[in-house]
Structure 1
Amino acid sequence: MGREEQVEEREVLDSIFPEEITDISETEYRISILLELPPDEVDKADPPTLILHVRYPDEYPDEAPHLDLSPPQNAAVHPHFSVAADREALLAGLDETVQENLGMAMIFTVVTTLKENAEQLIIDRRAVAERQREEVLLAAEREENKKFHGTPVTPETFVQWRDGFVKEMEEESAKLEEERLADLKKARVKEEKRLTGRQLWESGMVGKVDEGDEEDGAGGLADGVEALKVAA
């Protein structure tokens, strides 16, 4: 009974995979499975292909088939998939499907499950790679933005800024006060040089005019002015 079911399944598989299936013996064959992936702008690699090897035990389908995976000859390296690296995980992912289908022809279901698992594996890895790429770009953007932004304001940085600002204002105010006092001192010195008429008279810089010299008063005053100029 097992052999009859094996032959029948093999004929069905030949109609489903006419170009992909290759016989090795009456109870052994391999199926080439081309993975189908959504287009991706980052990952330009062609979808990979894997080979499923199937060998029927005598009691198949009541007994699980012998399954194995291998890459095609001269297969191109894919950035997110490797049959050699992913073989064990993909085969382990078929265990549940095999156990659920014991007693029935299961190879088509096995192929479908294997294809979906492999495609999802690549999609997940693409997503991780894209997130990493975005993180790198965001990190670079943050570094670039640091050139245009000051230190973030925190209570500590505000207190530090405020203390520095107050100190700077105090120094500026002291400097202005010194300049004001210096200017005031200069003004007072200059003011002192401008003696009043009485001070000029008392200091003798302008001589007193005698009654006999009234007619020479103008000359005496002129002489006093000349003396003031010289003294200045």
Structure 2
Amino acid sequence: MSTFVVALSDAQREETEALQAILGDDFCLQKDETTGRPLIRLNLLEESPRVELSLYLSLPPSYPEECPSITIQPGKDFPATWRAPLLEFLKNEMNSMVGTPMVFELYTRAKDWILEHSAQLESEDIDKVMSQGFSATSVVEKTKQESSFSISSLVEEREYGTPVTKETFEQWRQNFFLQFGVRNKEKEGSLKPTGRQLFEENRLVETSEAGDIYSSEDEE
């Protein structure tokens, strides 16, 4: 608590002392430079998700019979779109608690509001990611269908062959004779006798001729 003197009623003093004991460094009692009233600053920090803000409550002399003035100072990672609805929510809560000390209750309800809306924000992010995931799945399925169609076309072409036309037949005919001629040359080359075969054939011929000569002499 600040050391400078702030005009407080007994009820206000008791409440601020209790707040100091409970909140520690998250509580600060100041003097409103504009109105001279006691100004309470409450620092809110949520770790998951990490959101920071400060609540400023200016206490009128008749507080708690009269609602304090409240302002919100956004801190780190506090969505700008939350400021107006949170402020309206806290003002409605104050109106329902007139006549009783309400600062700590406003602090806890503000934290609850942040947690609730953080959960909604996370849920929206998850829905968005899931929606993108389904879109990606659709793309994958489409790709699979296109691939399946291409494979089916190849299988069908393999099963039923290429349609015969005048042009395809002429191309086949040219390829056939070209391959046939090459194979004939290869066949002729493979049938050409080797040197050993020629030598053995010559020996057979000479032996045969010699046999014929001996046969003729015997007959004489």
Fold shared by both chains (TM-score > 0.5): yes
Unaligned 5+ segments in structure 2 are 1-7, 32-36, 147-162, 164-220
* Unaligned 5+ runs, structure 1: 38-45, 151-171, 173-232
Select the residue among 108, 116, 120 that pairs with 1:120.
116
CA RMSD of aligned residues (A): 2.3
Greater helix content:
2
2:66 is matched with 63
In the alignment, the residues of structure 2 paired with residue 29 and residue 113 of structure 1 have an alpha-carbon distance, to the nearest angstrom, of 16
Distance 1:139 1:17 in 2: 48
Deviations 1:58-103 (A, max 9, x none): 111010111111024xx3xx3xx42x43211101111332122110
Q: Does 1:10 align with 2:16?
A: yes
Q: Which runs of 4+ in 1 moved over 6 A?
A: none
Aligned to 1:107: 103
Q: Which residue of 2 aligns with 1:34?
A: 45
Q: Tell me the residue number matched to 2:191.
A: none
| Equivalent pair of 1:36/1:119 in contact (CA under 8 Å) | no
Letter in 2 for 1:120: E
2:130 paired with 1:134 = yes
Q: 1:149 Cα deviation (Å)? A: 3.1
How far residue 118 of structure 1 moved from its aligned partner, in angstroms, is 1.3
Q: C-alpha offsets along residues 2-32 of structure 1, whole Å, 9 cap, x if unaligned? A: 8221111101100111111122126112011
SS in 2 for 1:62: coil
Which residue type is aligned with residue 10 of structure 2?
E
What are the within-5 Å matches in structure 2 for residues 83-102 of structure 1? 84-102=80-98
Aligned residues: 137
In the alignment, the residues of structure 2 paired with residue 88 and residue 101 of structure 1 have an alpha-carbon distance, to the nearest angstrom, of: 20
Measured in 2, the distance between the counterparts of 1:142 and 1:4 equals 68
Aligned identity (percent) is 22
Cα distance in structure 1, aligned partners of 2:102 and 2:127: 37
Which runs of structure 2 are paired with 1:197-212 in the superposition (5 Å)?
A: none
**What TM-score do you get using the length of structure 2 for normalisation?**
0.57
